[in-house]
Amino acid sequence: MEQHKLTIDMNEATIDQLRDHHFALFGLHAIATSASGAPTIWLSAHYLERHLEITWNETYSMYTTRQTPHAPSTKIVATHNYPAPLGSVLTVSGNDGAGIVTPGGPAGHMEIDNTGRIELGAGLCIHDSHGMYQPMGVFDLIDVDLFQPIPKVAFFFSPIPHMAGEIATRSLGPGVLLDYQMSSNGSLSIEYDIHDGWATNNRPYARTIAANEPLNPLLLIRSSALQALAMQRQRSATRG
């Protein structure tokens, strides 16, 4: 379990504007996968202050849900949720998405196998800043899906009410993508100004996200290697 921290510093004029117009901070987490899907909002912070600190633990679970169209603003609710370490396999046998977690998955990854007859939705959850499991995307579960959490997160301030688990296929406003692989201690900091936006200059771990920019290319990494591995594991399971 690795703790990550984000510090956002803002001036008085910025924080006053954000509060007066009821802005909140929203976060989405990147993931590599063999499956097709859509990003979901994972984290939210509604109490804003000049020196804002957000912390979360990279603690994961695998979830299933009914098959859902990947339409923007659709709220994803997990039917079944199974906390598990990386390297675990969730074998789903029930048509409602129920299953059993066992070891034996690829190292550093999570695997969800659908052995039932019903196509489902599935994905990984991660702890938000309140210690609650929230989806970091929703994906089609037809047979075998493989997932690998990627330590990149996107953050946005928005005055529009959003919820954790809500599908977001485009940015919620001008945002920032932060790469925690470039942090030696799991902590990153950045400044935000209501007029100038996110201060990404001289911060190689940060890049700006334009308003209305598509999020799938930034946050969902469709890995051909994972697709090949998923097919291989599906064939092995079939032979077994």
Candidates 122, 68, 61; CA nearest to 92 is 122
Structure confidence at residue 235 (pLDDT):
74
Residues 113, 77 contacting (CB under 8 angstroms): no
**SS3 assignment, position 80:** strand
Strand bridging mode 187-193 / 3-9: parallel
How far is the C-alpha of 240 from the C-alpha of 235, rounded, in Å? 8
Q: What ranges make up the beta strands (E) of the chain?
A: 3-9, 24-33, 37-38, 43-45, 51-57, 60-66, 80-83, 88-92, 99-103, 110-114, 120-127, 133-135, 138-141, 144-158, 175-179, 187-193, 197-198, 206-209, 220-222
For 98-122, the pLDDT digits (tens) are: 999 999 999 999 999 999 889 999 9
Record the tokens describing residue 76, joined without a space.
């994803």
Record the tokens describing residue 18, joined without a space.
């954000």
Bridge partners for 135 per DSSP: 125
C-alpha triplet 208, 204, 19: angle, nearest 5°: 45
> Cα 9 vs. chain centroid, distance in angstroms?
24
**SS3 assignment, position 180:** helix
- Kindly give, in sequence order, each residue whose CB lies less than 8 Å from that of residue 48, ignoring residues fewer than 6 positions away: 10, 15, 18, 19, 23, 24, 25
Mean pLDDT of 172-197: 97
For 68-100, the pLDDT digits (tens) are: 789 999 999 999 999 999 999 999 998 899 999
> Cα 4 vs. chain centroid, distance in angstroms?
14
Residues 97, 80 contacting (CB under 8 angstroms): yes
Say whether pTM exceeds 0.85: yes
For 212-239, the pLDDT digits (tens) are: 999 999 999 988 888 888 888 887 765 5
